[in-house]
Amino acid sequence: MDEDEGGIVSAAEWTALLVVGGLFAFGLVVELVREDPSARSFDYAALDAMFAERAPNPSETETKNNNGSSVDSHSHNVDFTEHDSPQPTAFLDMNDAEIEELVELPGVGPVLAERIVARREAIGGFTKPEDLLDVPGVGRKTFDKIRPYLYISTIK
């Protein structure tokens, strides 16, 4: 053994280990001191009650549209911008919609509609809207466009 090799761990390595261990211990102490014990037992029910108190009365949310008929302002947000494909005339059940209905959704063509139906059949039905993100060709943008038009019935 050379004199330079003093052992298995050199002095520089010991220094590095001590610095890392010291930083770890310091971080642990800081985390324990900063931890708020009340955060573990937050009362979500009280927060929900506060929001319920402040929520507008449903009868106050009713407004009139251009032709004077009543409109509920809590209905789904619908994108009224122009799209290449025609807008669906009703909500679609993801577990029952046919290809002809799916192509009416914004950003969904015949190929993507076929993939949606094939995926639905392969998994035995969708259980949540986000299941569409597993269909090749349905990314977050497309999903966000079509989500307002979809709902899920029980799996058939």
List all residues 6 or more positions away from 93 whose beta carbon is below 8 Å from its beta carbon. 150, 151, 152, 153
Is 66 contained in some domain?
no
pLDDT at 68: 57
Is 118 contained in some domain?
yes
Give residue-wise pLDDT tens across range 110-122. Answer: 999 999 999 999 9
**Span 30-46, mean pLDDT?**
66
Domain that holds residue 15: 10-35
- Please state the domain count of the chain: 2
| Average predicted confidence (pLDDT) for the chain | 75
- Tokens, residue 44: 């979500």
Contact 108, 116 (CB under 8 A): yes
**Span 92-114, mean pLDDT?**
88
Its pTM stands at 0.43
